[in-house]
Amino acid sequence: MIDHLGINCSDLERSAAFYDAVLGVLGHHRLMDHGVAIGYGTSQPEFWIGRQPESGPASGPNREIHVAFTAATADDVRSFFSAAVAQGAEVLHEPRHFPEYHDRYYGAFVRDPDGNNVEAVCHTVPPE
């Protein structure tokens, strides 16, 4: 159901040192580092930490949460997106390939009614 989860951190470097240590003893490690976001896991990044924005809905004491739900197909991603938009969700990223993540990453991102970043992602879509 859940593909990955992300949280924002007020001090990314300090948080990275913390998660490097505590996740390392559990057998997980840093798999991706984009400078503003770091992904941890065993075979794929399932837990992400990122820089907390200085303004907008993700700033302040109630930081946004990012959760990505697994989708079986690109059509499922598009259906998720359509349903979210029909419910009035703010569009963050329309359905598309995200080659900066990996070559088969197809996802869509919206903001839920509480300001959280919610995504549907499929990892099996070949690049266009």
Kindly report the average pLDDT of the chain as a whole number.
87
User: If you write DSSP's letter for every residue of the chain in order, what string do you get?
Assistant: -EEEEEEEESSHHHHHHHHHHHHHTTT-EEEEE-SSEEEEESSSEEEEEEEPPSSSTTSSSSPPEEEEEE-SSHHHHHHHHHHHHHTTPEEEEEEEE-TTT-TT-EEEEEE-TTS-EEEEEES-PPP-
Confidence of residue 52 (pLDDT cuts 50, 70, 90): confident
Its pTM stands at 0.71
What tens digit of pLDDT does each residue of 73-91 get?
A: 999 999 999 989 998 889 9
Domain at 64-128, CATH from 3.40.50.300, 3.40.50.1820, 3.10.180.10, 3.40.1080.20? 3.10.180.10
Is the fold of 1-52 the same as that of 64-128? yes
What tens digit of pLDDT does each residue of 97-108 get?
A: 999 999 999 999
